[in-house]
Amino acid sequence: MSKQLSETDRLRKIVEAFPQVTVTVLGDMVADEFVYGEISRVSREAPVLILRHRERDVVPGGGANAVYNLADLGVNVLPVGVVGEDETGKLLLKRFRQKRIPTSALIREKGFATVTKTRILAGMTHSARQQVVRVDREPESEPNQHVVRELILAAKQYAHASDALLVSDYGYGAATPEILDSIRSGGWNGIPITLDSRYRMFDYAGVTAATPNEPEVEELLRLQIGNNWGKLVSAGEQIMKKMKLQSLVITRGRDGMVAFARKQGPVDIPIYGSDQVTDVTGAGDTVIAAFTAALAAGADPQAAAQLANYAGGIVVMKRGTATVTRQELLQALQQAPPSVRPH
């Protein structure tokens, strides 16, 4: 058997093990709302388009999208987070129940506004729809201390029955460094902790792995990477050292991703599929979901990154906030063997 075939077979076996894996997700649960309309005419009131409303869809976003991706990959997923007692919060819970995802640790807080990102998309009858504006509705304050205590207790209980913990921090208060520290205090079982934090990654020193994108790395370290491989490697090594990570994946859009691991050189993985991307909405959630599932199933960081790369390449070819199924991942492995770029 060739090395290429054996690597493909190894990755396939990891994916096939997903249904035996359980992952807890501590995260900011976001509702992604899509409002579709056809361009009718230009308004007389202002130089803006008038859209004829066609349809509306509300799907899980943010941490909730990571949960949804794990479920579609066949993983047993246990979400911990906060939603409001509003319409979008109820729709999120309905979406979860449709996939038989447990919702007992999704705390309904009275007066808390479910984070909702509304995208208005416009187009002609027979043309592709384009996003024209996004409206974000956010809670006025972070969850109160009573809710935080409930989050910690639920996450601790779930983590003891899990193979990995995924932290999805979008800055809304349901996933914070302080909450994670409390979860890990007293009898932590040592499962991998993966992190997606948009604004405060360095505050999570001691997690197992992180999956930032390149612009987040540039902002974090205050540098410009561009196409400079040396700068990229140096940036990854700095983050690994400062955060004491076991592994790191830096996603680079159409340039694929780079995987770092302790005592190993960086691995440059080219994008799977076409670099003519359809929609990147939620792609980071898909990447960390696949990466975490693979680590939980016993994969090494490079194999986990390869599977995350396949998942990311598949999802960016779909419109809106989308997920990748386990079957799609297996089909991608069958169609194209994993590859790396030499340096």
Q: How confident is the model at residue 1 (pLDDT cuts 50, 70, 90)?
A: very low
CA distance linking residue 289 with residue 65, whole number of Å: 9
Burial class (CB in 10 A: 0-12, 13-18, 19+), 123: middle
Q: Is the pLDDT of residue 158 over 60?
A: yes
CATH pick for 3-31+59-113+140-335 out of 3.30.360.10, 3.40.50.300, 3.40.1190.20, 3.30.1960.10: 3.40.1190.20
Q: Is the pLDDT of residue 107 over 50?
A: yes
Q: Is the pLDDT of residue 108 over 70?
A: yes
- For the chain, what percent of residues have pLDDT higher than 90? 76
- Strand-by-strand arrangement of the 29-42 sheet: 49-62, 29-42, 115-123, 130-137
Contact 129, 39 (CB under 8 A): no
Q: Is the pLDDT of residue 337 over 60?
A: yes
Please give the positions annotated as active site.
Answer: 285
Average pLDDT in the 29-43 region? 93
* Amino acid present at 240: M
* Rg value, the chain, Cα: 20
Domain ranges of the chain: 3-31+59-113+140-335
CA distance linking residue 173 with residue 148, whole number of Å: 9
